[in-house]
Amino acid sequence: MTALPPSISSRAARKSLSRERLSREQVEQFGAELDALRERTLADIGEQDARYIKRIYAAVRYTGALGRGLLFFGIFPPAWLLGTLLLGISKILENMELGHNVMHGQYDWMNDPRFDGKTYEWDIVGTGDNWRKTHNYSHHTYTNIKGMDDDVGYGVLRLFPEQRWRPFFLGQPLYAVIFALFFQWGVAIQDIRLGRYFAGRMTGAELREEFRPTGRKMRRQLLKDYVFFPLLAGPFFLPVLLGNLVANGLRNLWTFMIIFCGHFTANVEVFPKSIIKNETRGQWYLRQLRGSSNLTGSKLLHIMSGNLSHQIEHHLFPDIPARRYAEMSKEVRAICRRYGIFYNTGSLVSQFSQVIWRILRYSLPSKPVKLDGKMLMAD
Q: Binding residues for other proteins, per CB under 8 A?
A: 39, 42, 46-51, 57-58, 61, 103-105, 108-112, 114, 116-118, 132-133, 136-137, 140-141, 220, 223-224, 228, 281, 284, 318-319
Q: Cβ neighbours of residue 86 under 8 Å, at least 6 residues apart?
A: 63, 64, 66, 67, 70
CA 164 – CA 293 distance, rounded (Å) = 23
**101 vs 184 by CB, closer to other proteins:** 101
Nearest approach in angstroms of CB 113 to other proteins is 8
Nearest approach in angstroms of CB 233 to other proteins is 17
Nearest approach in angstroms of CB 29 to other proteins is 17
Name the phi and psi angles at 267, rounded to 5: -95, 10
Nearest approach in angstroms of CB 323 to other proteins is 13
**1 vs 36 by CB, closer to other proteins:** 36
Nearest approach in angstroms of CB 317 to other proteins is 9
**18 vs 138 by CB, closer to other proteins:** 138
**60 vs 270 by CB, closer to other proteins:** 60
Nearest approach in angstroms of CB 176 to other proteins is 28
Nearest approach in angstroms of CB 193 to other proteins is 17
**287 vs 358 by CB, closer to other proteins:** 287
**122 vs 260 by CB, closer to other proteins:** 122
**201 vs 224 by CB, closer to other proteins:** 224
